[in-house]
Structure 1
């Protein structure tokens, strides 16, 4: 006779229990669309109050009306260090202690080879994807360390690891996001402040429309004939990471649609 012992959830095998985010405060940058909007909705459903950051005020208020928890709309351009410092220093009562920072604001512009790239586009990507992320993180991090709790979630990209033609500066900014995340983790050892770098592959948002300067037809061809990830897919990953037990840090998550993979080396045949 074979006897099988079945462990129930929470038994001695040590099943991880998710943290209760009720009453937490989460700040999401780039909350006016796509992944940022989906993250705000997901975290609100978990009970967190939201600070919604973006440049389009009408969209921020429209999103706030859909949340099930209190929210504060912050019209802010993360590229401005002075604006970031001033706005985050003046958060209203009940929103001043940020438990979760989702650095989602980012941009890709153009797909030209480096020798034809526009320096203005490069500046915009560096200012938003690198400097904006750094400004917000540096402003909020001391409070997290002082309270000995918090989670910084940085939205990177598989472009940080896998180069592609035309991805020159965009991919470089996401490599910065990855390495900055890793170094933050090194600095925060001994605290209960956690850091995660989320690296999505193809996600259908306004990303390609912005990259191609409003050319919706060209943007649509990026996802033609395949099933990309959705903003909700990435929001699920973010929410899973921040609700792990306090002693668990998810360093990096790389996630692609099933229809995306790795290409062969780009070789010029003569």
Structure 2
């Protein structure tokens, strides 16, 4: 069954799990997949935000999840025997230091949530993804997983590892009914990504997008993820890179001022 076919009593809505669903791209993706015909498990640490999302959007269920905690991941998986889509969206960037002056703990945190979080989710949900008609693993990567830039060593290293994870998983699952895709956004203006990266410094966060006429939005990326997962089952989009028109590369962005 595909989401386009619509749910019936004999064919209930397929299940999509979205991690990091309490804000930004994750929340937008949960909304969009619910509209596309999925029952969405919106998973993240901030339960109050998830409950608000679930109260606002039909077919969205809130589940507390910490992708860096094995027990938390196992508890989520125990309640999901059949999963059509897993969107590994939980992630983040911490710090903008040069490699020589960077905080190793920031690197550790980025690797744990971006890479090992995805590994934990895949390990836990792979049986459910292979059940029924088969499933689809989507990694929310970044252009930082394919290019590098100064002062971004920890984040680009983590996102390169996440891209390698997706590529390796696709090889290992060849012949099994699970698709693997990476969606790699460029500059996306969300309320929290840059603010978290700069430790709550709003001025520095705002400067990232200053003068950029139309950076991508969370809804733009949700639209892209929805496109990827609603292709026919025999179609696998390996990698979809999406940037705003103003951005040619991480280091080259047209600014009007």
Could you tell me the TM-score, scaled by structure 2's length? Answer: 0.90
Q: Which runs of 5+ in 2 are unaligned?
A: 8-12, 253-257
Q: Distance in 2 between matches of 1:133 and 1:102?
A: 9
CA displacement, residues 207-227 of structure 1 (integer Å, 9 cap, x when unaligned)? 100001111121011001112
The structure 2 residue matched to 1:39, chosen from 7, 29, 35, is 29
CA distance in 1, matches of 2:61, 2:35: 16
User: Residue 150 of structure 2 is aligned with which of 157, 165, 173?
Assistant: 165
Q: Which residue does 1:3 correspond to in 2?
A: none
Structure 2 equivalent of residue 80 of structure 1: 69
2:164 matches 1:179: yes
Distance change in 2, residues 1:72/1:162 (3 Å): same
**Counterparts in 2 of 1:226-245, with a 5 A limit?**
226=212, 227-245=214-232
Aligned length: 244
CA–CA separation in structure 2 for the residues paired with 1:151 and 1:262: 29
Q: Secondary structure at the match of 2:161?
A: helix
Q: Which of these two proteins has the greater Rg computed from alpha carbons? A: 1
Task: Note if 1:260 corresponds to 2:247.
Answer: yes
**Cα-Cα RMSD:** 1.8
For residues 72 and 38 of structure 1, the distance between their equivalents in structure 2, rounded to whole angstroms, comes to 14
For the residue of structure 2 that corresponds to 1:65, the secondary structure is helix
How many Å apart are 1:264 and its aligned residue?
Answer: 7.8
Between stretches 78-87 and 230-239, larger displacement belongs to: 78-87
Structure 1 residues 148 and 24, CA, compared in 2 at 3 Å: closer, same or farther? closer
Q: Is the 8 A contact 2:70 2:120 kept in 1?
A: yes
In the TM superposition, residue 85 of structure 1 has moved relative to its aligned partner by 1.3
Asked whether the equivalents of residues 108 and 210 of structure 1 are also in contact (C-alpha less than 8 Å), the reply is yes
Does the residue aligned with 2:247 lie in a helix, a strand or coil? coil
4+ long deviations beyond 6 Å: none
Q: Residues 183 and 241 of structure 2 are in contact (CA less than 8 Å); yes or no, is this contact kept in structure 1?
A: yes
Contact 1:20–1:243 (Cα < 8 Å) also in 2: no
Structure 1 residue 259: deviation in Å? Answer: 0.2
Report the Cα distance in structure 2 between the residues aligned to 1:178 and 1:263, rounded to whole angstroms: 17
Q: TM-score with structure 1 length normalisation?
A: 0.86
